[in-house]
Chains A and B, each alone.
Chain A
Amino acid sequence: ETGVTQTPRHLVMGMTNKKSLKCEQHLGHNAMYWYKQSAKKPLELMFVYSLEERVENNSVPSRFSPECPNSSHLFLHLHTLQPEDSALYLCASSQERMTFGAAYNEQFFGPGTRLTVL
């Protein structure tokens, strides 16, 4: 496997189900991200993990729960979702570095999980 992988690629779930999305990066990066992409809206950053610590939680509802057991793996646990949560969920990774006070942060995306909540 190369790059960033995500499973499953497609997921249909009812509002009472519990499911998890998985992301794995094979790039040796030290940061991982979850994004949500809905139609007609820009990519929304949900969570950031840097060196396995969560450093950002962009006011995401508690029905989304991230987990980062190590620097290569990232999970998004889903429970009691709403139909408006239907979207493409993207995982990304980067090697965060600072040089002369500037941040260099090229992020590489996985293929995404297309989630439909019925």
Chain B
Amino acid sequence: QKEVEQNSGPLSVPEGAIASLNCTYSDRGSQSFFWYRQYSGKSPELIMSIYSNGDKEDGRFTAQLNKASQYVSLLIRDSQPSDSATYLCAVNTYGGSQGNLIFGKGTKLSVKP
């Protein structure tokens, strides 16, 4: 059973701080990794994708991937109240149906003003 694990939270950080969200996955064959943001009552919105080991930065967001440790993280710098949402980690495994993303349950982030 391929799994993606996330701490459900809630993770509470003060405004302006760095929020660190973590995700582990079970399938070593995983090739592609994604972070989605989901506001309450809304659908998931893709915010980051990462395919190779190391860091990938996009504005205030940095995704980090370590395939040896089967670990992917998302850092949000200068957190804003508008970042308060549930963050979903998703993993795409090579082989079989390429379209299959396995999602974690999500981590709820709360940024306090």
Contact = CB atoms under 8 A, between A and B. Distances in A.
A109 B88 CA distance: 13
A109 B44 contact: yes
A78 B61 CA distance: 39
A55 B45 contact: no
Contacts of B32: 102-105
Interface of A is mostly: strand
B70 interface: no
A107 interface: yes
A42 interface: yes
B65 interface: no
Interface in A63-103: 88, 90, 94, 96, 98, 101-103
A108 B99 contact: no
B99 A105 contact: yes
Given A43-B44, A108-B46, A103 B94 contact: yes
A108 B4 CA distance: 19
Nearest to A44: B103
Interface in A19-64: 31, 33, 40-43, 45, 48, 50, 55-56
Contact of A98 (B36, B42, B44, B98): B98
Contacts, number: 73
B69 interface: no
A56 B96 CA distance: 10
Contacts of A55: 97, 99
A110 B45 CA distance: 9
B93 to A, nearest CB: 8
Given A42-B105, A55-B97, A109 B92 contact: no
A56 B100 contact: yes
Contacts of B102: 42, 45
B31 interface: yes
Contacts of A40: 105
B13 interface: no
Given A48-B99, A94-B99, A102 B31 contact: yes
Contacts of B104: 42
B49 A111 contact: no
